[in-house]
Amino acid sequence: MEVPLYPDFPLDPSTSRGGQPVFWVGPRYLAGDDGRLYDAVADTLADLGWTSLTIVRGRHGPDEASQDRQVLRSTVLHISSDTLRWAQWSLADEPFHLGELPIAWQISARAEASSPLAQWSVYFTPDVPGEAVSDFLVALDAHVQPAVPLAGPELVLDAVAAHGWFRDIDQPQAAATDPTFTSHISLGEVPPLIQDADPRALVTEADEAGLAGWQAWAQPALGAPYLWAASFSASVPHDLVAVFAASLSSTAPVLRRVLPEATQERLLRAPAV
């Protein structure tokens, strides 16, 4: 069982004197997003040169003061320079849910700029480590043809196995879990509403298994609410999923000021000095 490296330091940084201290924290997959998933990812996208657009939809009566305007929905969209890739922050936009958690980031790509539809999409809820999402985006940005896979699914499992995760006994070619059995990655049927351009997604019967895509999630205890979830549609290239998986399972500690309440007791931490 993992225990704090420095038990005399408070689990809740907000309770310490002098503001919020910074901790080096591990394992990464239980460390949350530090309450700044948007900022961490948006900074990465800005460094990559993606264009940021804000779309605001609301109501404004003719005699209504500007400060009284009721904003119904707001979406922040980041688009790559070649327009083949985009990332949408949808947490404030009435998002649908994954594992009973709201979707925060939706990332999509298409094969050609002239295509009106995304070839595939990826969905991340809050508390997915921002480092893993950012590493995925850096790899996506470098992918010359983001809709074309460069490797098979084995690459994903190799990525987490290299960091000590165990392959599932029943599905060694399709699933793995971390050493604490709280975080998982699996190649299986995608949940409803996950967008993918594969035409087979439109003809699957109700009693048939749907298309398989990578799913990842953390559940601190059996029967407990999920800490985070991520869903990759069926056409997401396995090599890109492998980058996310490698970053997620990395043994390198991450900097955090805010620790998830559900996993505080499981985290190794040391003050960053």
Half-sphere exposure of 258 (CA within 13 A, CB side): 9
Digit-by-digit pLDDT tens for the chain (273 residues) are 333 333 333 444 334 434 689 999 999 999 999 999 999 999 999 999 999 998 776 555 556 665 555 555 567 999 999 999 999 998 877 678 998 999 999 999 999 999 889 999 999 999 999 999 999 999 999 999 998 888 899 999 999 999 999 999 999 999 999 999 999 999 999 888 788 777 665 555 555 667 899 999 999 999 999 999 999 999 999 999 999 999 999 999 999 999 999 999 999 999 987
pLDDT of residue 205: 54
Strand (E) or helix (H) holding 248: helix 238-248
pLDDT of residue 57: 63
Q: What DSSP character marks residue 134?
A: H
Nearest to 139 by CA among 212, 215, 38, 248: 248
Say if residues 253 and 12 touch (Cβ distance below 8 Å). no
Is the backbone of residue 19 left (phi > 0), alpha (psi -120 to 50) or beta? left
The distance in angstroms from the start CA to the end CA of the chain is 26
- The amino acid occupying position 126 is P
Token pair for 252: 């390198």
Q: What DSSP character marks residue 211?
A: -
- C-alpha dihedral sign at 228, 233, 236, 239: positive
Q: Give the residue extent of every domain in the chain.
A: 20-54+72-271
Q: What's the predicted TM-score (pTM) here?
A: 0.85
Burial (0-12, 13-18, 19+ Cβ within 10 Å), 158? middle
Say if residues 40 and 134 touch (Cβ distance below 8 Å). yes
pLDDT of residue 192: 81
pLDDT of residue 10: 40
